[in-house]
């Protein structure tokens, strides 16, 4: 079925929907009924039409199979999920184990690159035995012996999960051990026989965002309903979350009451269960503890210290409610952003960005009145670094290093020796035929906006170009190996540039590429800055001849759905294709859908006229116009997404179709917002998106998908 047939199919969808639509201000509210029979039937119809277009034929199957081979390849970094004393755990997923093997090995064998694994939980086998579609959500093991763990398993990949106590030594779930029923729970060890639990305790126990607001201390052997309440937040809060840090033989327990997405009231839980408020500013984030100090990150300038800084508080002073002044450890330069912080036995590890390239620093604590010793770790320059895990009983950190053309290498890093490569992945494509460059565009207000461009060497433009961005929630977009670009689209980026096209990762405002100020520049009423930044990157690529009008595709996911929707409304002349993944789209109703209320600090409150005044200017759903011909878009999502409501994607498709536009739509019935049920989902998506882009933009080689 070619494009003309697709238009007819889209028209049929539109007619069927409108014929049954209730007469309300929004005729597509019925699509917000996640499992409603009518909504699901419509989704299946749209899915079938899209698959008829782009998920059939030998070319599609070739790319789908290759994508799955790449994602399931047994030659992958066995990254540490956790370091448990002298052991390392890992979750391994491949073709034989799509849901994963949770396994453990000695740290000596692991750092030598020859781990001797022992399987703790076979997630696929467990799901089969229990009749559940379990998806791994992680494990938290209690220091210092690391024998008991809280294992989180999600049915189908939703944010909600079940928490069960597991014994490392026996390799079994603990008989009559702790079990927290399925919910969006926040659970942490207090000690071996007590948990700090925030969960769904019944009516009124959750915030408007759907997260726990009550934290209780639960004693082993007693009913959860009898647990002692330690802290109760407000209904309008985002959530309440318990957590703890080990500092040698001492465990320090805390609770954050997140009054908004960006403000967190930090309290300490004393050994007797008393809860005391700390003087840590609400805008700061606790990171870890080391040498009797609580390490925090200042998102705003506070107490005479600059925004974006790392500071330390005396834990003894906090526990005694004594007045204490924070100690400055590191303040970033104007081109830097501190992104990741972790602690090993005697070292504070800091991963920073410097013009969006990763750097790693090691700090050694000294007396409070003395400066901390600081070293820069010698790792490959102009790369993306990820600080994965650290060891609590030795000075050791595990770090991956990668680039768009450089496969990941896992390093074991110590403060006083050269990094040791533990595992390096072999190349999955011939990087010698490609080139990557970092360029800078000028946004509407003159702001310098970085972006990364990858394409074949010697390509004479203009060529079809895919630009991906996010632009929100302080999340920096750094260039990763092309087999995983963009996020949740498998190796789409690789397939695209292999055809001679260009792939671009844009570092627009709203993210964390230059620290809190970069995020705040696109917050709430300043959201337009992120849209202007993306437009500027597209126009810069046209100006330098990389691409041309008619050859530009925009891509964004989640918050990026707001972005791409706004881009299309504002500049339908500039973009000729758009990928919109698991999107926010209806900003008038977002705060009433699933976790939406938790993001009011990011976007604004649409129920307040003064906020809707600026939100209404860009909300994608409300700004679609009947008299505009939009490029054909590909919208995808998941029925089981319990974070960003699938109604956003469905309503976007319905409204675009109603106005006579072509829409490719695909919704998976499993998989949550950030985790796919297994790799086959992302592999199929990569192939479908490639076929879509080929149909809509063509390719530099002239090959059409299908």
Residues labelled as active-site residues: 558, 673
Return the SS3 of 329. Answer: strand
Asked whether the beta carbons of 532 and 539 are under 8 A apart, the reply is no
Distances (CA, A) of 166 to 118, 169, 170: 15, 9, 9
682-701 burial code (b ≥16 CB/10 A, e <16): bbbbbbbbbbbbbbbbbbbe
3-state percent helix, strand, coil for the chain, nearest multiple of 5: 25, 35, 40
DSSP of 431-459? GGGEEEEEEEEE-TTS-EEEEEEEEETT-
Q: Which two tokens stand for residue 663?
A: 């829409």
Q: Which residues contact 370 (CB under 8 A, 6 or more apart)?
A: none
Within 10 Å of residue 318's Cβ, how many Cβ atoms?
22
Helix (H, G, I), strand (E, B) or coil at 404: coil
CA–CA–CA angle 50, 55, 60 (5° rounding): 145
CB burial of 268-279 (b: ≥16 within 10 Å; e: otherwise) equals: bbeeeeeeeebe
Vertex 528, ends 526 and 529: CA angle to 5°? Answer: 75
**Shortest CA distance to 634 belongs to which of 577, 702, 564?**
577
Helix, strand or coil, per DSSP, at residue 150 = strand
Count how many residues are written for the chain.
706
Token code pair at residue 297: 């990150």
Backbone φ and ψ for 5, nearest 5 degrees, come out as -65, -35
Sheet holding 348-354, edge to edge: 336-343, 348-354, 357-364, 373-376
| C-beta contacts of 232-235 below 8 A and 24+ residues apart | 233/207, 233/257, 233/258, 233/259, 234/207, 234/259, 235/204, 235/207, 235/208
Residue closest to 93 by CA, chosen among 114, 48, 67, 123 = 123
Phi/psi at 6 (5° precision): -65, -40
Neighbours of 613 (CB within 10 A): 11
DSSP 209: T
């Amino acid at each position: 079925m070619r494009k003309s047939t697709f238009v007819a199919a889209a028209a049929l969808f539109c007619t069927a929907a409108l014929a049954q639509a209730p007469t309300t201000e929004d005729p597509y509210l019925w699509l917000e009924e996640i499992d409603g029979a009518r909504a699901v039937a419509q989704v299946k119809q749209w899915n079938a039409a899209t698959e008829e277009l782009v998920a059939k034929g030998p070319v599609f199957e070739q790319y789908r199979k290759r994508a799955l081979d790449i994602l399931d390849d047994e030659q992958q970094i066995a990254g540490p999920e956790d370091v448990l004393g002298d052991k390392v755990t890992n979750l391994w997923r491949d073709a034989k184990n799509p849901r994963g093997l949770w396994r453990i090995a000695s740290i000596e064998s692991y750092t030598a690159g020859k781990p001797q694994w022992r399987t703790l939980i076979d997630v696929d086998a467990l799901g089969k035995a229990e009749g559940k579609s379990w998806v791994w959500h992680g494990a938290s093991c209690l220091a210092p012996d690391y024998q008991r763990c809280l294992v989180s398993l999600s049915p189908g990949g939703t944010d909600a999960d079940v928490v069960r106590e597991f014994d490392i030594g026996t390799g079994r779930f603990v008989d009559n051990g702790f079990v927290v029923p399925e919910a969006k729970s926040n659970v942490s060890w207090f000690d071996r026989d007590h948990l700090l639990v925030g969960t769904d305790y019944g009516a009124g126990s959750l915030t408007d965002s759907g997260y726990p607001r009550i934290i209780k201390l639960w004693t082993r052997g007693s009913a959860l309903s009898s647990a002692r309440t330690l802290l109760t937040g407000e209904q309008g809060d985002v959530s309440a979350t318990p957590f703890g840090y080990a500092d040698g033989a001492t465990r320090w327990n805390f609770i954050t009451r997140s009054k908004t997405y960006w403000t967190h009231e930090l309290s300490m839980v004393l050994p007797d269960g008393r809860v005391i408020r700390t003087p840590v500013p609400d805008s700061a984030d606790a990171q870890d503890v080391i040498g009797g100090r609580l390490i925090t990150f200042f998102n705003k300038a506070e107490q005479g210290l600059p925004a974006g800084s790392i500071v330390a508080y005396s834990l003894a002073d906090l526990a005694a409610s004594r007045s204490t002044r924070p100690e400055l450890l590191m303040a970033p330069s104007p081109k830097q952003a501190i992104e990741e912080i972790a602690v090993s036995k005697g070292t504070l590890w800091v991963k920073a960005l410097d013009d969006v390239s990763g750097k790693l620093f090691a700090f050694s604590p000294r007396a409070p009145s003395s400066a901390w010793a600081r070293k820069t770790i010698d790792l490959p320059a102009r790369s993306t670094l990820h600080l994965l895990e650290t060891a609590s009983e030795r000075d050791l950190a595990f770090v991956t290093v990668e680039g768009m053309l450089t496969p990941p290498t896992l390093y074991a890093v110590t403060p006083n020796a050269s990094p040791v490569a533990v595992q390096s992945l072999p190349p999955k494509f011939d990087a010698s035929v490609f080139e990557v460059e970092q360029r800078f565009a000028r946004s509407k207000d003159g702001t310098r906006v970085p972006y990364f461009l990858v394409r074949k060497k010697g390509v004479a433009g203009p060529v079809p170009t895919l630009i991906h961005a996010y632009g929100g929630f302080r999340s920096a977009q750094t260039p990763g190996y092309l087999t995983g670009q963009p996020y949740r689209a498998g190796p789409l980026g690789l397939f695209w540039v292999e055809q001679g096209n260009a792939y671009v990762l844009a570092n627009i405002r709203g993210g964390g590429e230059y620290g809190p100020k970069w995020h705040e520049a696109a917050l709430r009423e300043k959201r337009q800055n992120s849209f202007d930044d993306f437009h500027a990157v597209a126009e810069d690529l046209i100006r330098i001849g990389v691409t041309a009008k008619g050859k530009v595709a925009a891509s964004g996911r989640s918050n990026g759905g707001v972005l791409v929707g706004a881009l299309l409304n504002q500049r339908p002349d500039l973009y000729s294709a758009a990928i919109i993944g698991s999107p926010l789209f209806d900003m008038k109703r977002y705060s009433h859908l699933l976790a939406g209320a938790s993001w009011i600090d990011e976007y604004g409150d649409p129920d307040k006229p003064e906020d809707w005044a600026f939100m209404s200017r860009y909300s994608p759903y409300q700004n679609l116009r009947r008299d505009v011909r939009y490029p054909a878009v590909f919208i995808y999502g998941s029925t089981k997404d319990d974070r960003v409501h699938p109604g956003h994607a469905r309503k976007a498709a319905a409204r675009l179709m109603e106005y006579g536009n072509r829409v490719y739509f695909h919704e998976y019935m499993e998989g949550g917002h950030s985790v796919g049920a297994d790799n086959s989902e992302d592999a199929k998506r990569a192939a479908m998106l490639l076929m879509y882009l080929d149909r809509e933009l063509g390719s530099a080689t002239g090959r059409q998908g299908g």
